[in-house]
């Protein structure tokens, strides 16, 4: 399952996400999305985990404090095509 993680501190790395979600099971991949122009974090990322552990991770981490900010964690929805 692909999981959206929002409201991340701008200093968060993919390794930080992998450690955080790794407490709930195997992490297949983790990425923090960055701005193409500046290379700075955009404050959100994605984590991929097996379905069997992803639901629990979402439930436990949604609104959890991370770096002084409440995370927004939910199942990622497919990207809508741009007009």
What's the pLDDT at 57? 98
What's the pLDDT at 83? 78
CA distance 49 to 54: 6
What's the pLDDT at 82? 78
CA distance 14 to 29: 9
Domain spans, the chain: 2-75
pLDDT along the chain (83 residues), means of 10: 97 98 98 96 98 97 97 91 79
Q: Which CATH superfamily is domain 2-75 in?
A: RRM (RNA recognition motif) domain (3.30.70.330)
Indicate the pTM of the whole model: 0.92
Instruction: Write the burial class of residue 42 (CB in 10 Å: 0-12 exposed, 13-18 middle, 19+ buried).
Output: middle
CA distance 48 to 60: 16
Q: Which has the closest alpha carbon to 4: 66, 78, 82, 81?
A: 78
What's the pLDDT at 79? 77
């Amino acid at each position: 399952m692909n999981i959206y993680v929002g409201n991340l501190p701008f200093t968060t790395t993919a390794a930080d996400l992998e450690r955080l979600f790794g407490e709930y099971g195997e992490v297949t991949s983790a990425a923090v999305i960055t701005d193409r122009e500046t290379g700075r974090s955009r404050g959100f990322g994605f984590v991929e985990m097996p379905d069997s552990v992803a639901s629990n991770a979402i439930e436990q981490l949604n609104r959890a404090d991370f770096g002084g900010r409440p995370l927004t964690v939910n199942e990622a929805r497919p990207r809508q095509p741009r007009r």
